[in-house]
Structure 1
Amino acid sequence: MREKRLFYNTISSLVFQVTTIICGFILPRLILNAFGSEVNGLVNSITQFLGVISFLELGVGAVVQSALYKPLAEKNQEDVSKIISSANKFFTRLGQILLIYVIALVIFYPQFAGKNFGFIYTATLIVTISISSFAQYFFGIVNRLLLTADQRGYIQYNAQTLAVVCNTAACFILIRVGCSIQIVKLTTSLIYLLQPFLIYLYVRHHYSIDRKIKYIKEPIPQKWNGIAQHVAAVILDGTDTIVLTLFATLSDVSIYSVYFLVVKGVKQLFMSMTNGITSLIGELWAKQEIKELNKTFSWTEWVIHTGTTFVFGLTAILIVPFVRVYTLGIHDANYIQPLFAALIVAANAGHCLRLPYNIIILAAGHYKQTQNNYIIAAILNIVVSVVTVKAWGLIGVAIGTLVAMGYQTVWMAVYDSRNLIKWPLRNFAKQIFVDGLTVIIGFFATRMIVMPEATYIEWVFLAVKTAIIWIVIVGVLNMVFYRDKMQSMIHKICVKVKRG
């Protein structure tokens, strides 16, 4: 059953992320063409400012999911109901705070960021974009956490995939017929309102949850210890756009959003393949199946590092040629930024490299013990970004994120080794060495390959040639340094092919 659910979660999450990436490239391009770089920058800026409200989530979502592993594994419905009841109360209050925050944003945001558009234009855009956030906090997020913790994440991924496809089709039509950006974003919010409703119906039908259950002792003991982790995550994802809004221009925000669109898509596509692993490791830790846990972690670390190096190595080579094609014909901002591209790709690669170590920390529920790491990473990102943005603009904010990610990755690996699974640090050092060697060889082997014309067909040819070379390099190096894992993986693939 574990393997079956892991397969369902991985495939459905992968389909969702691929769909999101494809649709995510279509809509921004349509907005750029129809409304220009400044409107695109305004939309992305407002979205990030609304994302700041998730500061108030305070990491409770991750703590709730961790708290659910044990009662779900033991089929203790009473404890599950208590955790869900406590979480519902928290997120309902958060939705109420969100309402106050949106009102404040409507009043003050147009004064410093939307001066070129007028108060009504900017204020209505804020309201329309914020609608789906209300649905998430009032009755959507707790049900999603329950499904993910119970290794049924594929339910929510399928609902999200449906919403993304419907939204893209509707917005494409609305932009083509000349509707305003407010109407387009209102349609997006209304479509995304359907997601939590569909998930709620599934949970109500398949789980016996008493949402009004009474409890004396707080069922989520570390509810407030996830604060640092969550704040750091919000800062690492949202600081760059907010810093650019305050200290640069909306055109810079637009340039950043196009590059971030690519790296975020690649990152989430890659991370989607670990969603099932997170809940599996959570269950293994809850049952203290240490031998199986170490075996699973060993494979998880190798697969994530190898996959990250390959995927983000390709991205670093291909992102500028892609942006050149994607923004062809748009001349109101300079979208060709190779140094910024390399730094933002490296920073997001760091986010993925830390995944195996972060998964163990979350599975073990070590929130209080690790919060200083997250606080320091958040401070590093803010300080470095603010100090460097005036001098280097886009490059400065990318450096801030890269420094924070590098610090977190090393710290988490050391913490896991000393306090949780006792994973030897030499394994981590070896993995980092192989990652770096792969990137260096891959870069020099493919840097002379060029795209003769700025077309999607030429970019695809470039991508295929580059990918073939990188596959060979990754395969050869891992056969040298990780022969046992490569042979085991090849054997498993051959067996499945024969069975198929």
Structure 2
Amino acid sequence: MERKKRLALNTSTSLLYQVVTIICGFILPRLILKSFGSEVNGLVNSITQFLAIISFLELGVGAVIQSSLYKPLAEKDDEQISRVIVSGQKFFSKLAKILTAYVVILMVSYPFIANQKFGFVYTATMIGVMSISSFAQYYFGIINSLLLTSDQKGYVSYISQTVTLVMNTAACFMLIKLGSGIHVVKLVTSLIYAIRPLILAIYVRRHYNLNWNIKYTEEPIKQKWNGVAQHVSAVILDGTDNIVLTIFSNLKDVSIYSVYSIVTSGVKQLLLSMTNGIQALIGEMWAKQELDELKEFFGWIEWILHTGTILIFGITSALIVPFVEVYTKGISDVNYVQPLFAILIVIANAGHCLRLPYNIMILAGGHYKQTQNNYIIASALNIIISVIAVKAWGLVGVATGTVIAMFYQTVWMAWYDSKNLIKWPFKKFLKQIFVDVVIVVLVHLIINLYFVKTWFEMKSVTYVSWIFLAVKISILVVLISVVINTIFYRTHIRSVVKKSINKIKK
């Protein structure tokens, strides 16, 4: 299967998975909120983040394994592939054992460190049932998923994830409607998600000529521990906020954060899904040193990701508060309308997507050790600012920490790529950021003009009214984006229009 077809298949299946994730992500939290209340919803999301802390101990080895597989996969070197996979599996098997010990410690300690009103047994058993799928992932699933992604066959993983996600949503919907407790619902979720790694294990054993008993004298995964900073940074930037809120605030704030995250994380993952095949492709080009082709491809990826991010998050920034109003209608135990926090969390997630092309290049090029200080500083900024600001500003405080860390990291990565790797000019990044800012500012200026402001308001707190508003906002953002990009990126726009016309003619 040629590169373009693999990229298209990976992108389409990943996109399908993210769309299904977003839909299911709206259904289940709403059911939990209505059936069990905001504090139970906060508890579930808090435990999820505490369980995610174990991924700290992955120490970035997963990303390094992917980088180590690009060359042997390109050369079809089965022996070297086997060495990397066997070494990686040994690491993740040890991590699964550590996870078991961590879960026991968490079951004992979490009920005392979290600001929550539930009993010890209630909370500890919740942690136990929610940890089952995490154990299955580390023991059976991660190494096979890394192999498939590196070989540009991520579509196998995305299809299995989509199927199990739909199964889980249907099962949980029925259980909640039948009056089952939250523990039963989460136990069923864990058992269904444990099916995923088994599917991947069967596929890999049937389609790859791996020698699981291979011996090696030299560590096959080069720079094995040099991905630590990148990985820890990613975990902190994604998971710190909920943990800080759990310890220094309360579960109601965690619930508010989780509701806004349904939207922002869904949109972010939608954009990430479009890049899932790109890193493997860039990694292959870098391994073969096809630098001219790589530079041209990178230029397009930068523009597409920036344009897509600003387009989607520009729409999100105007629609997120009205959506939350509709989504939480009838739930009165907490005030979910938080406009300033909404803007900050949108900016933070948009920043995560804007840094993607530069981060992908660093990971595909295997520059882990050279870039680790950037990741350490970003992590420190996020933690320190969040912990200091949460007491005074609550949700706004933790979001501020994430925004500042993302801004620093995005600029640093773009600068690093301009000086190293493919030598991408930093002025091109600055131009792209300028265009991004102009589009967003124009959108919000027009929306808030006094003589058109009423056009961009919901007439009632209903999904129908929100959909009408979404259509108007989307048209406005698309029009402004097209006009501004035509001015600054005329060649790109012409190329997109030409390709679109050719496809329509065919």
Q: Please give the TM-score of this superposition, normalised by the length of structure 1.
A: 0.99
Asked if the contact 2:115–2:249 (Cα under 8 Å) also holds between the matched residues in 1, the reply is no
Q: Please give the TM-score of this superposition, normalised by the length of structure 2.
A: 0.98
Asked if the contact 2:115–2:251 (Cα under 8 Å) also holds between the matched residues in 1, the reply is no
Q: Secondary structure at the match of 1:330?
A: coil
Asked if the contact 2:63–2:227 (Cα under 8 Å) also holds between the matched residues in 1, the reply is yes
Code of the aligned partner of 1:340 = F
Q: Following TM superposition, by how much is the alpha carbon of 1:115 offset from its aligned partner in structure 2, in angstroms?
A: 4.6
User: Percent identical across equivalent pairs?
Assistant: 63
**1:434-473 Cα shifts (integer Å, max 9, x gaps):** 0000000011122321001011111111001100011110
Q: Give the match for residue 7 of structure 1.
A: 8
- In the alignment, the residues of structure 1 paired with residue 504 and residue 16 of structure 2 have an alpha-carbon distance, to the nearest angstrom, of 22
- In the alignment, the residues of structure 2 paired with residue 498 and residue 211 of structure 1 have an alpha-carbon distance, to the nearest angstrom, of 51
Q: Secondary structure at the match of 2:209?
A: coil
Asked if the contact 1:19–1:165 (Cα under 8 Å) also holds between the matched residues in 2, the reply is yes
Asked if the contact 1:351–1:405 (Cα under 8 Å) also holds between the matched residues in 2, the reply is yes
- In the alignment, the residues of structure 1 paired with residue 457 and residue 396 of structure 2 have an alpha-carbon distance, to the nearest angstrom, of 24
Q: Secondary structure at the match of 1:334?
A: coil
Q: Secondary structure at the match of 1:51?
A: helix
The correspondence of residues 403-414 of structure 1 with structure 2, limited to 5 A, is: 403-414=404-415
Matched, 1:32 2:33: yes
Could you tell me which runs of 5 or more consecutive residues in structure 1 were left unpaired when the two chains were aligned. Answer: none
Matched, 1:461 2:468: yes
- In the alignment, the residues of structure 1 paired with residue 165 and residue 459 of structure 2 have an alpha-carbon distance, to the nearest angstrom, of 34
Q: Secondary structure at the match of 2:101?
A: helix
The alignment yields a C-alpha RMSD, in angstroms, of: 0.7
- In the alignment, the residues of structure 2 paired with residue 446 and residue 2 of structure 1 have an alpha-carbon distance, to the nearest angstrom, of 42
Asked if the contact 1:377–1:404 (Cα under 8 Å) also holds between the matched residues in 2, the reply is yes
**1:216-269 Cα shifts (integer Å, max 9, x gaps):** 110001110000000000000110000000000100000000001110000000
Q: Give the match for residue 62 of structure 2.
A: 61
Asked if the contact 2:67–2:363 (Cα under 8 Å) also holds between the matched residues in 1, the reply is yes
Code of the aligned partner of 2:258 = S
The correspondence of residues 4-403 of structure 1 with structure 2, limited to 5 A, is: 4-113=5-114, 115-403=116-404
Code of the aligned partner of 1:124 = T
Asked if the contact 1:240–1:398 (Cα under 8 Å) also holds between the matched residues in 2, the reply is yes
- In the alignment, the residues of structure 2 paired with residue 212 and residue 26 of structure 1 have an alpha-carbon distance, to the nearest angstrom, of 45
Q: Give the match for residue 452 of structure 1.
A: 459
Q: Following TM superposition, by how much is the alpha carbon of 1:119 offset from its aligned partner in structure 2, in angstroms?
A: 0.8
- In the alignment, the residues of structure 2 paired with residue 394 and residue 134 of structure 1 have an alpha-carbon distance, to the nearest angstrom, of 31
Q: Following TM superposition, by how much is the alpha carbon of 1:113 offset from its aligned partner in structure 2, in angstroms?
A: 2.0
Code of the aligned partner of 2:318 = I
Change (3 A) 1:183 1:114: farther
Code of the aligned partner of 2:499 = K
Q: Give the match for residue 497 of structure 1.
A: 504
Q: Following TM superposition, by how much is the alpha carbon of 1:114 offset from its aligned partner in structure 2, in angstroms?
A: 6.4
- In the alignment, the residues of structure 2 paired with residue 116 and residue 373 of structure 1 have an alpha-carbon distance, to the nearest angstrom, of 39
2:484 to 461, 470, 477: 477
- In the alignment, the residues of structure 1 paired with residue 136 and residue 398 of structure 2 have an alpha-carbon distance, to the nearest angstrom, of 32
Asked if the contact 2:116–2:250 (Cα under 8 Å) also holds between the matched residues in 1, the reply is no
Task: Give the stretch that moved more between structures: 111-120 or 366-375.
Answer: 111-120
Code of the aligned partner of 1:355 = L
- In the alignment, the residues of structure 2 paired with residue 233 and residue 346 of structure 1 have an alpha-carbon distance, to the nearest angstrom, of 17
Asked if the contact 1:114–1:122 (Cα under 8 Å) also holds between the matched residues in 2, the reply is no
Q: Following TM superposition, by how much is the alpha carbon of 1:100 offset from its aligned partner in structure 2, in angstroms?
A: 0.2
- In the alignment, the residues of structure 2 paired with residue 282 and residue 445 of structure 1 have an alpha-carbon distance, to the nearest angstrom, of 42
Q: Secondary structure at the match of 1:454?
A: coil
| Aligned length in residues | 499
- In the alignment, the residues of structure 2 paired with residue 115 and residue 335 of structure 1 have an alpha-carbon distance, to the nearest angstrom, of 19
Could you tell me which runs of 5 or more consecutive residues in structure 2 were left unpaired when the two chains were aligned. Answer: none
The correspondence of residues 402-441 of structure 1 with structure 2, limited to 5 A, is: 402-441=403-442
**1:122-148 Cα shifts (integer Å, max 9, x gaps):** 011000100000000001000000000
- In the alignment, the residues of structure 2 paired with residue 462 and residue 376 of structure 1 have an alpha-carbon distance, to the nearest angstrom, of 40
Q: Following TM superposition, by how much is the alpha carbon of 1:343 offset from its aligned partner in structure 2, in angstroms?
A: 0.3
Q: Following TM superposition, by how much is the alpha carbon of 1:404 offset from its aligned partner in structure 2, in angstroms?
A: 0.3
- In the alignment, the residues of structure 1 paired with residue 17 and residue 213 of structure 2 have an alpha-carbon distance, to the nearest angstrom, of 33
- In the alignment, the residues of structure 2 paired with residue 118 and residue 4 of structure 1 have an alpha-carbon distance, to the nearest angstrom, of 53
- In the alignment, the residues of structure 2 paired with residue 166 and residue 115 of structure 1 have an alpha-carbon distance, to the nearest angstrom, of 31
Asked if the contact 1:42–1:114 (Cα under 8 Å) also holds between the matched residues in 2, the reply is no
- In the alignment, the residues of structure 2 paired with residue 445 and residue 79 of structure 1 have an alpha-carbon distance, to the nearest angstrom, of 58
- In the alignment, the residues of structure 1 paired with residue 447 and residue 464 of structure 2 have an alpha-carbon distance, to the nearest angstrom, of 19
Q: Following TM superposition, by how much is the alpha carbon of 1:276 offset from its aligned partner in structure 2, in angstroms?
A: 1.2
Code of the aligned partner of 1:495 = N
Q: Deviation above 3 Å: which 4+ runs of structure 1?
A: none
Q: Secondary structure at the match of 1:275?
A: coil
